[in-house]
């Protein structure tokens, strides 16, 4: 005798969950990560190998093209598609390192400021104000002049530019959480400040930290592209999307593909990350879940 099933089945629940996913942004991000990991096997050419006789070679669909370069070649005769694929590694490296360093520093200072209050809170918040007022592009240009153009210098500037966004929001969350009953009970039980922040405050702000990190990744990639465009980013011949756009700016009337396709890569990556961050915020924010 069959039993009567009440409510949706597991398959229906799974399908409904899949429909709610941001399929297009996730697909774009998956392709980017896949290309970054398997770049040596995916790219059709060596990104640094130049063939001067093929300089500014046209994409395969343009009349007169040999078809050897799918998206054309740059002024040094290097394959544009291969350089875009290898450029994903730089974007992911910069984004991961900058966001990881900024989230750890900003979240720690935000929790300390919100929990301790008084002069400590005032000092950390004034540091945030100073950090937000600093023109990071100018700082990056000065750093390149002093220390030279290198990946560590770029990563340091990028990490310094992200922590304040975490600190201000995490402080606001901490001000609410420290008034909760379980925090008061932990104080009565004799827990140290460090233990309360680590075991009771951090889990409460973790979702907020993840959402901020997701939303900031796009801004970090854009900043790296701007710095590389200005010559203060990744040193040549390492391919990066910003430097590729910079290389093609003088050839827009005659070889538009040199700057166009790296620009499209930047646009798609930043847009996909912003959409994914918005979706993640809706899923992790309890107030938005209750309103739904």
Contacts of 223 (CB under 8 A, 6+ apart): 136, 137, 158, 161
Find out whether the peptide bond into 237 is cis, omega within 30 degrees of 0. yes
> 152-186 burial, b for 16+ CB within 10 Å, e for fewer?
ebbbbbbbbbbbbbbbbbbbebbeebbeeeebeeb
Residue with tokens 């009970």: 185
- The size of the chain, in residues, is 292
pLDDT in tens, 219-258: 888 888 888 777 777 777 788 888 888 888 888 888 888 8
- The predicted structure's pLDDT at residue 2: 47
Q: Which domains does the chain have, with CATH numbers?
A: 72-291 (1.10.3720.10)
Q: What is the pLDDT of residues 142-174, one digit of tens each?
A: 887 788 777 788 888 888 888 888 888 899 888
**Angle in degrees, CA 133, 212, 173, rounded to 5:** 90
Most confident of 110-114, 189-193, 249-253: 110-114
Pair 281, 215: CB distance under 8 Å: yes
Residue 218: Cβ within 10 Å count: 20
% helix, strand, coil for the chain, step of 5 = 75, 0, 25
Q: What's the rounded Cα separation, in Å, for the pair 89 and 43?
A: 12
Q: Report DSSP state, residue 73.
A: B
Distance CA 80, CA 84 (A): 6
Distances (CA, A) of 48 to 51, 73, 82, 103, 152: 10, 12, 9, 34, 21
Confidence of residue 1 (pLDDT cuts 50, 70, 90): very low
Q: What pairs with residue 79 in β-bridges?
A: 73
Task: Please report, to the nearest 10 degrees, the dihedral formed by the alpha carbons of residues 161, 243, 211, 198 taken in order.
Answer: -50
Closest C-alpha among 65, 72, 74 to residue 250:
74
């Amino acid at each position: 005798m069959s039993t009567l099933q009440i409510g949706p089945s597991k398959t229906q629940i799974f399908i409904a969950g899949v429909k709610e996913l941001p399929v297009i942004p996730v697909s774009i991000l998956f392709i980017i990560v896949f290309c970054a990991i398997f770049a040596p096997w995916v790219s059709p050419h060596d990104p640094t190998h130049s063939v001067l006789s093929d300089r500014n070679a046209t994409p395969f669909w343009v009349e007169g093209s040999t078809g050897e370069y799918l998206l054309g070649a740059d002024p040094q005769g290097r394959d544009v598609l291969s350089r875009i694929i290898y450029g994903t590694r730089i974007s992911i490296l910069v984004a991961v390192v900058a966001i990881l360093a900024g989230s750890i520093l900003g979240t720690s200072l935000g929790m300390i400021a919100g929990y301790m209050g008084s002069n400590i809170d005032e000092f950390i918040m004034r540091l945030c104000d100073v950090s937000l007022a600093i023109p990071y592009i100018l700082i990056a240009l000065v750093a390149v002049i002093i220390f030279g153009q290198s990946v560590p210098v770029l990563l340091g500037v990028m990490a310094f530019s992200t922590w304040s966004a975490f600190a201000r929001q995490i402080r606001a969350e901490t001000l609410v959480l420290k008034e909760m009953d379980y925090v008061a009970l932990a104080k009565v039980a004799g827990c140290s400040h460090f233990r309360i922040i680590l075991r009771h405050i951090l889990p409460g702000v973790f979702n907020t930290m993840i959402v901020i990190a997701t939303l900031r990744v796009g801004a970090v990639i854009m900043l790296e592209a701007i710095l590389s465009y200005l010559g203060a980013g990744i040193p040549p011949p390492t391919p990066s999307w910003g430097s590729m756009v910079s290389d093609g700016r003088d050839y827009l009337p005659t070889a538009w593909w040199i700057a166009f396709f790296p620009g499209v890569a930047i646009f798609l990556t930043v847009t996909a990350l912003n959409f994914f961050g918005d979706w993640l915020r809706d899923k992790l924010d309890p107030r938005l879940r209750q309103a739904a």
